[in-house]
Amino acid sequence: MSGRAPTGPRPPRISAASWLRVLLPFVVLAAGVAVWDLVVRINQIPPYVLPGPGLVWQTLVADWPILSVSLLATLWTTLKGFLAAAFGGVALALLFNQSRWVEYSLFPYAVVLQVTPVIAIAPLLLIYLPQETAVVVCAWIVAFFPVLANTTLGLNSVDRNLAGLFRLYGASPLQTLLRLKLPAALPYILGGLRIAGGLSLIGAVVAEIAAGSAGAGSGLAYRIAESGYRLNIPRMFAALLLLSAAGIVIYLLLALVSHLLLRRWHESALGKDN
């Protein structure tokens, strides 16, 4: 017998590919910022045409009290639009799954809502609705269809053999929905939510730009439009930087939630741990 003590399972090692997946985007970002700074310095471009990254950062710090309030306003609008799209899209998809007549009657109108440009709808909504409500509705319109379409697809993609087995054992429609269809559709639902998170931000920005054209607004998009009118281009870039960062954070948070919910049983998440 060997005198070695039994060893427990070793903690998983982070592979070189995982490190590259994390580091390469930062390398590309650093290279892009360096090229941007060099172009501005070599060509001596004035700040009202193209500010350098250093000036944009200084403006972000100096104008943080104003920009942070606008950021919170945009995020609050995005959250309300996203939640409305998530609950509304999933609920309507469940209704579609239970009644084909309802799906055939309403789904075409959901498609029409999706393909109609929100930039054309926003001015009308601002006329007929209060400004805050109109902005939230725009965010909901853009984010609603991906949740509805993905959830409907997931509910309709259940394995027929499993559905037949549930019927064979006398499962009720509610039991089949809760124990078979919803778990099977969960990856589709989460995929739709990841898409809807970014789209709700886009919808909020479009509505804020429309509101800013009417002389009202408080979000980051309004600050971008206001900075453009005043030729305060560094503040415009700083607000755009905050919008991009907000979109990235929203996507990462939703991707993390998706991974945590799927990592123990679904192939799409299991592959990330192996």
Q: Is residue 3 part of a domain?
A: no
254-to-169, 231, 242, 267 alpha-carbon distances in Å: 36, 36, 18, 18
pLDDT band at 250 (very low <50, low <70, confident <90, very high): very high
Q: Is residue 208 part of a domain?
A: yes
pTM over 0.75: yes
- d(C-alpha 89, C-alpha 146), whole Å: 8
CATH code at position 152? 1.10.3720.10
Q: How many domains does the chain have?
A: 1
Q: Is residue 141 part of a domain?
A: yes
Q: Is residue 185 part of a domain?
A: yes
Q: Is residue 260 part of a domain?
A: yes
* R_g of the chain computed on alpha carbons: 24
Q: What is the pLDDT of residues 128-164, one digit of tens each?
A: 888 888 889 999 999 999 999 999 998 888 888 887 8
Q: Is residue 77 part of a domain?
A: yes
Which positions ≥6 away from 140 have C-beta within 8 Å? Answer: 81, 84, 85, 88, 200, 203
Q: What is the pLDDT of residue 37?
A: 87
- Give the structural domain span for 164: 60-267
Q: Is the dihedral of CA 19, 25, 28, 33 positive or negative?
A: negative
Q: Is residue 28 part of a domain?
A: no
Q: What is the pLDDT of residues 20-71, one digit of tens each?
A: 777 888 888 889 889 988 998 898 888 888 898 898 999 999 989 999 999 9
Q: What is the pLDDT of residue 81?
A: 92
